[in-house]
Amino acid sequence: MPAPHSNTGDDLVELHCHGGQAAADQALHLLFNAGCRLAEPGEFTFRAFVNGKLDLAQAEAVNDVITSGSDLALKVAENQLNGVLSRQLDAIYSELNNLRAECESRLDFPDEELAYDPDVPGKIDAIIRQISKLYDTRNIGGALRDGISVVLAGRPNAGKSSLMNLLLGFDRAIVTPIPGTTRDTIEAHSVIRNLPVRLTDTAGLRESSDVIEQIGVERSRKSLDTAHVTLYLLDSSAPDLAVEIAEMERTKLINPVAVWNKSDLAPGKELPKLTAPTVKISVLTGDGIDSLLDTFARIVADSPRPTVPEVAINARAAQLLKTAMDSLTKALNAFRLEEFELAAADIKIAIDHIGEITGKTVTPDVLDNIFSRFCIGK
């Protein structure tokens, strides 16, 4: 595939050989002898970036496509690869350049008032709001890229492992009527409401004299510290509900959902009110599972049935957008005080940070950092 029409923009040759390990090894050997070398991680995408086939936001999206763990994550990655984010950023970038020129013209030609754009502050403000909207997608962006850590916690026998298995659709964790069945934390990946999740089943929380169980409970508590959402299971059929609740209240939980389980054993039972969002389920009959998933999706994506956001930025872009917004707020104040030189300088900072997202302004170490996360051959 001759340059510049190949994927990378370079001359490109693709060799296909038989699939066995030995045949591929020998083919590689011949190529090395002829002076070839293996590609660095992400080198093909890097070359496409250098040759202007993709900007940096699109190049990052190549990796997002490869690692996407749910349909929703894939769709967002594809949007970014197709330039949806880049187009918004490029529009902001050129508008900021205009505004910077406006500020500078007030320095260079202070007497030509008639030619000035009368609404520079309004325009800066509009851009801040536009950036802020993009910035607000960082949480869902992080959740889609890295997966959402969901920890199942509660007292022994509450039904944590049963719920884990139900959510996974297969029997991953051992379930028995004996309290203290799960001793270690168990992790598995799944998709809930189109969101990629990492489920962690934990050992039931209680005081125990058993050394193994003690270590398990310690691990449970560690997992709780790293959760994005905690599904805290309570046994609604327990003789003393106060004991179930006391353990929950003693424990520091991140984004907890109180899940009263075993509703089949206690139909119509009056359950105490809790401060956390609460659902009543039966893992045995499947009752209430839908509303549990709705509650989960509302916490993570503000909607019981998350749909594809047009864009969902990653952590790198979030940091750059934040700095850009702060600089523009400063620029706005400076402009209102007629300190046009300062305003122009602050707008320039914003321009550089917006440009860094798409790679217009970027340092080699940032590029190294981004592309080293790719796998070889991409």
Ligand X SMILES: Nc1nc2c(ncn2[C@@H]2O[C@H](COP(=O)(O)OP(=O)(O)OP(=O)(O)O)[C@@H](O)[C@H]2O)c(=O)[nH]1
* Shortest spacing between CB 261 and Mg ion, in angstroms: 12
* Shortest spacing between CB 223 and Mg ion, in angstroms: 13
How many residues interact with Mg ion (rule CB under 5 A)?
4
Q: Hey, how many other C-beta atoms are within 10 angstroms of the C-beta on 148? A: 24
* Shortest spacing between CB 58 and ligand X, in angstroms: 44
Partner that binds at residue 289, options Mg ion, ligand X, none, CB closer than 5 to 8 Å by kind: none
* Shortest spacing between CB 149 and Mg ion, in angstroms: 18
Tell me the three state secondary structure of residue 53: coil
Task: Give which of 298, 374, 282, 376 is closest to 59, Cα–Cα.
Answer: 374
By beta carbon distance, the residue nearest ligand X is 204
Identify any residues that bridge with 39 across adjacent strands, giving them in sequence order: none
Task: Give which of 260, 191, 259, 201 is closest to 227, Cα–Cα.
Answer: 201
Put the strands of the sheet holding 229-235 in their side by side order: 186-192, 195-201, 148-154, 229-235, 256-261, 278-280
Per CB under 5 A, 200 contacts Mg ion: no
Alpha helices in 194-240 (DSSP H): 211-225
- In terms of CB distance, is 139 or 181 closer to Mg ion? 181
Could you tell me the two tokens for 322? 């934040």
Partner that binds at residue 121, options Mg ion, ligand X, none, CB closer than 5 to 8 Å by kind: none
In the chain the first and final C-alpha atoms are separated, in Å, by: 17
Per CB under 5 A, 182 contacts Mg ion: yes
Per CB under 5 A, 45 contacts Mg ion: no
Per CB under 5 A, 161 contacts Mg ion: yes
State the residues that interact with ligand X by CB under 6 A: 154, 156-162, 175-177, 179-182, 203-204, 261-262, 264-265, 282-284
Partner that binds at residue 177, options Mg ion, ligand X, none, CB closer than 5 to 8 Å by kind: ligand X
- In terms of CB distance, is 159 or 355 closer to ligand X? 159
- In terms of CB distance, is 86 or 165 closer to ligand X? 165
Identify any residues that bridge with 189 across adjacent strands, giving them in sequence order: 198
* Interacting span for Mg ion (CB under 5 A) from 102-110, 127-135, 154-162, 280-288: 154-162
* Shortest spacing between CB 212 and ligand X, in angstroms: 13
State the residue for tokens 């790198």.
316
Q: Which amino acid, residue 29?
A: H
CA distance 237 to 256: 21
Tell me the three state secondary structure of residue 249: helix
Identify any residues that bridge with 232 across adjacent strands, giving them in sequence order: 153, 258
Partner that binds at residue 326, options ligand X, Mg ion, none, CB closer than 5 to 8 Å by kind: none
- In terms of CB distance, is 161 or 358 closer to ligand X? 161
* Shortest spacing between CB 155 and ligand X, in angstroms: 7
State the residue for tokens 């960082």.
138
Could you tell me the two tokens for 363? 């340092």
* Shortest spacing between CB 164 and ligand X, in angstroms: 8
Per CB under 5 A, residues contacting Mg ion are: 160-161, 181-182
